[in-house]
Every structure is written in C-alpha cells, then in structure tokens.
Amino acid sequence: MCGITGWVAHGDDLARHRSVVQAMTDTMICRGPDAEGVWIEGPVALGHRRLSIIDPAGGAQPMVATRDGRTLAALTFCGEVYNFRELRAELAALGHTFRTDSDTEVVLNAYLQWGADFAARLNGMFAIGLWDATTRELLLVRDPIGVKPLYYARTSDGVVFGSEPKAVLAHRGVPRRVDAQGLAEILDMVRTPEVTPFTDLSEVRPGQVVRVTEGGLTRTRYWQLTAREHTDDLDTTIATVRELLEDIVSRQLIADVPVATLLSGGLDSSAITALAQRALTAEGRGPVRSYSVDFQGAADGFEPDAVRGTADAPYVRDCAAHVGSDHSEVLLDSTELADPAVRAAILGATDLPPAYWGDLWPSLYLLCREIRKRATVVLSGESADELFGGYRWYQRPEAVDAPTFPWLTPGSARIFGGSSLIDQGLLEKLDLEGYRRDRYAEALAEVPVLAGESAVDRRMREVTYLNITRFMQAVLDRKDRMSMAVGLEVRVPFCDHRLMDYVFNVPWAMKSFDGREKSLLRAAVRDVLPASVLERTKTPFPSTQDTRYEQALRAELREVLADPDAPVRPLLNTARVNRVLGRELDDFSLPHDRGGIEMALWLNRWLVSYDVSVTV
C-alpha cells in the first residue's frame, strides 16, 4: 500500500518545478513510510510513497517501461492486485519479461499489452496514475468498489492528482475553497460520487478511468453494478458465496510482510478470521493473528444502548478459541480519544472534518497504531452489511419505504446528525433537505433495472445500491484514512467485485431466507463459526461509555465559544450551543447534540489547520 501523486502540465517542463512535486509527495509519508520516488519527464511528474508489501526489494516506484532508451509508459500505483500471479503468467506467455516479483510491474505490462482495457482485468484494490508517453495522455484509474481513494483537480494546462486531498492541495494552483455544495456534503451523510467538499477538487469514481489529454478530460466506467436474473437455487447460492469467499481470503493473505485480521466478534470479521485460519492451515502456516479493540474497564461496566445490545469481548474470545487464532486484545484508555495530538493526527489523515461516528475515529486510529507495531497488513470485515443486508434500516419497513437514504430516516439519522448546532440562517441558505432530496434522486436514477422484477426486489435492489455506492464509501474512507495514517494496510475481502456482482443480484427473499439479517452470509460460514457468533445480532464498532470523553468535548467547545477569533463561531447557533453546554452530564445523551459538538469542534480545527475559504 502506498500514496501516489502527480502533475501533468501540457507545454511545460516540470523539471523546473521539482520542489512542488516533492512537496506533494511528502504529504503522504504516513501512507508510505518505507521509501519514496519522484519521476519527471517533460510535462509530467509522478510521485510515490511506498509501504512495502509485495517484493520489498524490487517494487520501487514510480516504475517506468522503456524500449531502446525511450519511455513507453510510467506508473505510480497504490494498492494490491490479488490476481497478479495469473496475469503475470498470461503476460509472460505473450512475450513480456519481468525484472521484479511485484504486482506493480504486472500492472504496467498489462497496460502495455491491453491499453486502457487493462483495468477490467485487475482483481484488487488500487488507485493508479499512468502516463502514456506515446499518446501523451494520463490515465487515472480507481478499483471497482472504491477501496482506495484517488483525487484530482484541473489546472489551466492539465491536472494534479493524489491519493488524498492534501497531496493535491499542496500544489499552489489548487485553492482551498468550499462553497454551499461542499458545506452540505460535510454536514449531511449523502456522500455524492465524484464530489468533494473542496470546490475545485474531484474524486475518481469507483470503477472509473479518467483520461487527461491536451484536448481535455474524459471519464469512462470500466466496471459498475449491473442487474441480471439470478438463476441459482438457495443451496447453490450459499455454496457459491462460500467458494468465492474462500478464494478471496486466500488471495488476500498473500504478502511478504506479517498479515493479521481484525476481529470484533461479529459475523463478518469472524467469518474472515475463520476462513483465513483455514487457508493458512491448508498451506501449513499459521495460526492467523487476530486483533480486537475495547476500552479499559468496559468489560465490567458495559451498558446496552440503542445500537449495541452486547459487549464484543465474550464473542471475540469464543471465536478466537473456536478457530484457534493467535489473538490479542487492544485496550484503549478513553482519555486518549480526545488527546489533541490524536485529534491532530486524525485531521491530518482525513483533510476534512471527520464528524460522523464520533469517537469511532480516534478509537480506530489508536487500534491501527497499536496493531502496526506487530503487523503490516490486516484483513477486515467492512462492506458485508451493505452487500448482505446487515444494517437495521434493511429490516425496518419505514426506512426501506422512505423516499430518502435509509440511514437518514428516524431511528438511524440520529447517529449521523451533524448540523444540530449550526446557525439556522446558514442552514436555510444551504437547504440541506433540498440538497439531500436532489442527491437521492440522482442516486436512484443510477440503479440498474431488471425487467420483470417484483416491487420488493426492485426496492431492495435500490436500497442495496444506495448503501454500496454512498454509505459504504464513507465507511471505506474511514478505514483507509485511519489505517494509512499509521502505515497499516487494510484489505477488505467483502469488496471483491466478483462477490459484489454476484450477491447484488440475489433476490431479497434468498438473502433473508431465515428471517434474519445477513442470512445468506451466515449460512455460507455456519460450519466454521461458534454458535454464539452465529446467533449474535448485528452490533456496530465499539464506542466508549466513559463520560470523561464527553467532558473533554464539552470543555473544548467552551474554549472555542470563548475565543472571538475561532473561525467556526460565525457558523454556530450560539444560543443552542450554550443550552447544550448547560445540561447536566447525565442528561448529555442526545445523539444529535453529541454529533453537533463533534461537528463544531472538527470544523473549527479544520478551518484553522487548512486555511479554508468558505463562501455560501
């Protein structure tokens, strides 16, 4: 895993601007702590920061293909291609030679062989910047599901790109400006594809190729979810899901560095851990190393709440004992969650206010930081809920039938409420309800249609599509930023596009055949998990119940309110803020208020640290 960046300026010689390219590359040292590289030739410059996973000795980047001393193509690549061995053999049979054992060289040769069609042959998670010296064009390519991020900004004579906004913003020609649409994207959980809060910054869409030439910029999709009839019966469907998962997990265990799994005691992470253990055992390796997270004292003081009915620890231990993993429990001190140094590291990794999910950002960052001491790669269970129907809003008719994003309906929206402390006049200008309505209509219009599909299957296809293309992207961003902030690579087996394509087309009655969430997944892994995990109801990532965290948030907000120069103050409803701060801590239990405080604090830190210009 790595960080990539680049700059194309048609008609210029970027050797004159090496310091700018170096600055862009330096922004991503956390994503790639092991090595760096910068390559410049005429109007193109590519930068790379490397986290060595495959062929540490031979996979240096940017990687250049030449013939008779002439550049054919140059590549800066972030990610992993899990079928690189098969592709390498195919390319070798076609006459290609290889000087390294890296997947990067396979990707470069795949382009030389198949042109832009190479992207559709890759199985993995990746972001690619590729310069074709013959046609003098730049290709920006993102993996089918969008596990790895890739951003770009147009300039007067070309484009600037990078794995994270900070790499693009390091270029002097890209302003740090946010308009009404950008602020709406920050304040509401809509996650519009290709759109970012920064006015002049775009994101490559999952499964998309952005082609930049002297004539301009074009976008094409090489992969997207499609609708087709599912003809397999239930038993065959269960068996196919299992076969796919076994193949996916086996492929994603390939690395030249230590690999582990994240284990929460839920169905998804337990399935990945169990299948990883079986794959390693079959190869004469193992046991698999697994990691879980909890808070100090939580085992004795856990109290069920609206979304977490049980503590993770007992299920984690059941699963670890059942599969035989080498397990480690990471215990966090809740006071660390509000540590200014931790908050600064999180903001530096996200480049945007990470308000949603509250303390789940710092807890994930601290977990990844601890794991990184002993492992470089971990497999995680993200995206199973979106694909198999695990969230509560899949089961609630009022959420399914609502004419909006299901996670923003009563009962769920309270988790994502970030605008409760924002000035009412500003909210009226932004028209968040109208913005949400428009974005929902756009998303709905994208959903592929299967002729003759029942009304129920049609609607559940829509709900699944919304979750995969909008909600899941926010989840994947959070995992990517918090892991890469400490140089830890997270692989996400449930994001394999073959599995996504297959399960997306399974009828809803089959996905929920036993009346529970994720019925299909549970059936596919039933034989490898303990009964306690199989029967457990979906529970989110653990959150602290320690009031010291809330106290720290309120103390910081009081400081912000007392600072006349705090940039967020003009954006806040100060009367509402004072009412919230005046409540007794025991009454501090309104999710909208907690989300509002998190949003206010992160907005302030962001405006200060990133020197953002906000115009609405």
Q: Mind telling me the catalytic residues?
A: 2
**H or E stretch at 64:** strand 63-67
Q: Are 522 and 267 in contact (CB under 8 A)?
A: yes
Q: How far apart are CA 396 and CA 394, in angstroms?
A: 6
Are 137 and 213 in contact by the 8 Å Cβ rule? The answer is yes
Q: At 63, which amino acid appears? A: M
Q: Which of 163, 183, 184, 165 has the alpha carbon at shortest distance from 174?
A: 165
CA-CA distance, 313 to 139, in Å (whole number)? 46
Four-CA torsion 443, 357, 268, 478, nearest 10 degrees: 70
Query: Cβ neighbours of residue 151 under 8 Å, at least 6 residues apart?
Result: 161, 162, 163, 164, 165, 167, 168, 196, 201, 202, 203, 204
Q: Between β-strands 158-162 and 177-178, what pairing exists: parallel, antiparallel or unpaired?
A: unpaired
Helices (H), 178-312: 180-187, 234-252, 267-282, 298-301
C-alpha–C-alpha distance, residues 569 and 72, integer Å = 53
Buried (b) or exposed (e) across 493-515, using 16+ Cβ within 10 A? bbbbbebbbbbbbbbbebbbbee
Element (DSSP H or E) covering residue 466: helix 455-466
Of 549, 597, 521, 603, residue with least CA distance to 244: 521
Q: What is the phi/psi pair of residue 393, to 5°?
A: -70, -10
Amino acid at 36: E
- Return all residues near 474 (Cβ < 8 A) that are at least 6 apart: 189, 191, 356
62 cis-preceded (ω within 30 degrees of 0): yes
Residue 58's SS3 state is coil
Residue 91 structure tokens: 């390319």
- Cα angle 589, 592, 598; round to 5: 95
In sequence order, the 6+-apart residues with CB closer than 8 A to the CB of 586 are: none
Question: From the centroid of its chain, how far is CA 490?
Answer: 10
